[in-house]
Amino acid sequence: MHIAICDDEEFFRKSLIEQLNKYSIEKGLDFLYYEYNDGVDLLASKIDFDIIFMDFQMKDKNGIDTVSALRQRNNNTHVIFASSYEDVVFDSLKVKTFRFLIKPIEKEKLYEALNSLIREKSNRFTVLVRNTEQSANYRILERNIIFAQAENVSTLIYASDKCYKYADTLSAFQKELSSDFFFRSHRSFLVNMKYITNYSKNEIIFSTGEKALLSKIKYKEFQKTYFDFMKRESIGLL
């Protein structure tokens, strides 16, 4: 996950990264951090962040104005405000803030916010696809996708209810999904780890009885990714 920390206090940024590192290790997640000491610098970035930790009072552009500018771009990034100014909590709600945390941030409140955010991400993401049996377009939840298979320049999506067709390549489809649940097991297959019941060195078996190919060169990476996924699931994050 790509995480931005926008705060003009370097000590706070480093301290928050230490807390986030402990959380990521405990939950088996991969976090990449990007530090900004001002909203102007963050707005200049082209990175699509999963989470932004935002300070309220900064030198050139305050946190509310920064997030407001992000929202005008149609940016739906989850924003967590972290501030010593408790009275600005209502202003932060105007820019669709996910959480407001008081500095210094308590571990329990930080963990609650992150746990809730990850659960929400897993439940709300949808993809626009076309039913293979009809001409209509549908939005399907990521969590209902079992696996996807390349078919020339399009992609077949096998969901829990039926099969859909995505009018682009498997690589393009993969970019629309959350990396927390999906793994590219083969050049022709993208699998949702939530549905895996068994696997061998060249094959993945799903709870539906369907199968996907597992490339030999991807085997070790898959084992590690799947193990980390199972560890997260066992603590109730997914």
- Cβ contacts of 26 within 8 Å, gap of 6 or more: none
Number of domains in the chain: 2
DSSP 168: S
CATH number at residue 176: 2.40.50.1020
Query: Do 67 and 168 fall into the same domain?
Result: no
Query: Do 117 and 148 fall into the same domain?
Result: no
Examine the pLDDT at 75 and tell me if it is beyond 70: no
- pLDDT tens digits, residue range 162-192? 888 888 899 989 988 866 789 999 999 999 9
Query: Do 19 and 117 fall into the same domain?
Result: yes
Query: Do 117 and 12 fall into the same domain?
Result: yes
Query: Do 112 and 178 fall into the same domain?
Result: no
Query: Do 46 and 99 fall into the same domain?
Result: yes
Query: Do 91 and 148 fall into the same domain?
Result: no
Question: If pLDDT is split at 50, 70 and 90, which confidence band does 124 have?
Answer: low
CATH number at residue 61: 3.40.50.2300
SS3 228: helix
Cα–Cα dist 186/211, whole Å: 12
Could you tell me the residue range of the domain that residue 106 belongs to?
Answer: 2-123
Query: Do 54 and 167 fall into the same domain?
Result: no
Domain boundary among 123, 153, 173: 123
pLDDT at 135: 63
- pLDDT tens digits, residue range 136-161? 677 788 888 999 999 988 999 999 88
Examine the pLDDT at 66 and tell me if it is beyond 80: yes
- pLDDT tens digits, residue range 81-120? 998 888 778 777 788 888 999 999 999 999 999 988 887 7
Average pLDDT, integer, range 225-232: 80
Domain boundary among 88, 123, 158: 123
Top pLDDT among 167 and 206 is at 206
Cα–Cα dist 23/12, whole Å: 17
Neighbouring CB atoms inside 10 A of 148's CB total: 27
pLDDT at 238: 43
Query: Do 6 and 119 fall into the same domain?
Result: yes
Residue 154's DSSP bridge partners are: 151
Q: Encoding tokens for residue 124? A: 């709300």
Query: Do 8 and 77 fall into the same domain?
Result: yes
- pLDDT tens digits, residue range 3-60? 999 999 999 999 999 999 999 988 878 899 999 999 999 999 988 888 999 998 877 7
Q: Which of 172-176, 179-183, 205-209, 233-237 has the lowest mean pLDDT?
A: 233-237
Domain boundary among 96, 123, 150: 123
Query: Do 43 and 97 fall into the same domain?
Result: yes
Examine the pLDDT at 74 and tell me if it is beyond 70: no
Query: Do 16 and 102 fall into the same domain?
Result: yes
Compute φ and ψ for 85, nearest 5 degrees: -95, 95
pLDDT at 96: 84
Examine the pLDDT at 215 and tell me if it is beyond 70: yes
